[in-house]
Amino acid sequence: MSSMPTPPDSPQNLSDVQSALLELHEGLMSLKASLLELARSHEEEVAMHQARAQACALIDRIRRQA
């Protein structure tokens, strides 16, 4: 059976834990921002691909009618 970690027993240990948690939070917020930017970039790429496909289809229809 695994043992539970012992709580920090000194103010310095508590400060170290708080500092590590703050650093983890900042890292996670940075990761979240990066993932949101990646999602936006991907959405723009998909939209450009769809627009290109629609433009090609329209050009093909116009050529067939000409």
∠ CA 29-35-43, nearest 5°, is 145
> Any residues with CB less than 8 A from the CB of 8 and at least 6 apart, and which?
14, 16, 17
Q: Are 42 and 49 in contact (CB under 8 A)?
A: no
| Separation between Cα atoms, residue 25 and residue 65, nearest integer Å | 60
Confidence of residue 7 (pLDDT cuts 50, 70, 90): low
Tens digits of per-residue pLDDT, 40-50? 999 999 999 99
What Å distances lie between residue 2 and 5, 17, 31, CA to CA? 9, 21, 31
Greater model confidence, 31 or 10: 31
Average pLDDT score over the chain: 91
In the chain, the percentage of residues whose pLDDT exceeds 70 is 86
DSSP label of 27: H
Instruction: Indicate if the pLDDT at residue 6 is higher than 90.
Output: no
